């Protein structure tokens, strides 16, 4: 319980002014102004923090919305990920001598087997 709960500042100032004892009421007025200034400063700081938190949250939502969407909801593969080669593609490193795939001859025989 504080004195502000018992005596309203406007009543204290008016009575002190009417009776010529402003000097006696001044400590109360100074303390009252300090308490209210502190409350207002705290409210302003809380409002600024809330505004900044809201702004960060909106920026995060915008960043999330601007990311490319994938069909399965997964994140994109890491940067070093090797995508599978297109169908029908033969990796040059898998070629043997003479440009033939390693592991044998293609179907149809071998070169010079009587084919014209």
Which of residues 57 and 96 earns the better pLDDT score? Answer: 57
Each residue's pLDDT tens digit, 7-17: 899 999 999 99
Residue of 16, 39, 38, 34 lying closest to 26 (CA atoms): 16
Dihedral Cα 12, 15, 18, 22, nearest 10 deg: -40
At residue 79, does pLDDT exceed 70?
Answer: no
The more confidently predicted of residues 49 and 100 is 49
Q: What is the DSSP letter of 97?
A: G
Does 76 have pLDDT greater than 90?
Answer: no
Average pLDDT over residues 57-70: 76
Question: What pLDDT score was predicted for residue 33?
Answer: 92
More confident residue, 62 or 69: 62
Res 70: pLDDT: 56
pTM of the model: 0.47
Per the structure block, which two tokens stand in for 35?
A: 């308490």
Q: Give the pLDDT of residue 83.
A: 61
Whether the pLDDT of residue 50 is over 70: the answer is: yes
């Amino acid at each position: 319980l504080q004195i502000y709960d018992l005596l309203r500042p406007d009543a204290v100032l008016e009575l002190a002014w009417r009776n010529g004892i402003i000097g006696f009421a001044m400590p109360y007025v100074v303390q009252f102004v300090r308490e209210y200034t502190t409350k207002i400063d705290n409210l302003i700081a809380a409002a600024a923090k809330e505004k900044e938190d809201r702004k960060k949250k909106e920026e995060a939502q915008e960043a999330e919305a601007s990311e490319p969407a994938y069909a399965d909801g997964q994140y994109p593969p890491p940067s070093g990920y090797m995508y599978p080669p297109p169908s029908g593609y033969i990796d040059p490193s898998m070629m043997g001598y003479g440009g033939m795939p390693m592991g044998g001859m293609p179907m149809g025989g071998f070169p010079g087997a009587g084919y014209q």
